[in-house]
Structure 1
């Protein structure tokens, strides 16, 4: 009897969780759907505009990066992020502060709070 109750409870919970993953019909207002149909600026145009703006103002951007743990995939993602920003903003316009929390979420919170201040 207990097994039957446990199985039915698991099935009910599974059904409830899958119901939350269902899709809904597009109920956007006409103005919103028209806006979605108009083409946006291409990534290349946006990138060029941002690079031109940075070159004109000459600001140096300080970018703080807090990585929770050191891992090959995370290190590669961080390097890719740094490379993309350096290419976009120019090496002389960006400065990175990369810190590793060594798997401690409290240390990560402290690092992020230091970035904010």
Structure 2
């Protein structure tokens, strides 16, 4: 059984946030944490909270017109923040990732069912 280190995941998410903050064409407004609380980015310029064990769930960005965008702290969020893709493309990539995960789970389930059927048919 493989275990994932949650600290590594937190560090990757925080690394993406720092990169989004440094390279974004949008202004980071607020962070939504995994526990549902939020942190205003404007009030924490030093980001002392990044050394703690908080897990960033979403980043709220604002454009020059005041329009707000909610993104995840991941590669697609970084691409949107840099202006490489628009918000609709960002949402499409997020949905596509979910679809790929569902397909992988279904195929894995079907393979396991098939292997079980083969074992029962030929070994019993």
Q: TM-score range by the shorter chain?
A: under 0.3
The alignment's TM-score, normalised by the length of structure 2, stands at 0.23
Structure with the larger helix share:
1
Q: Comparing both chains, which one has the higher relative contact order based on Cα–Cα distances under 8 Å and sequence gaps of 6 or more?
A: 1
The two structures have a TM-score, normalised by structure 1, of 0.24
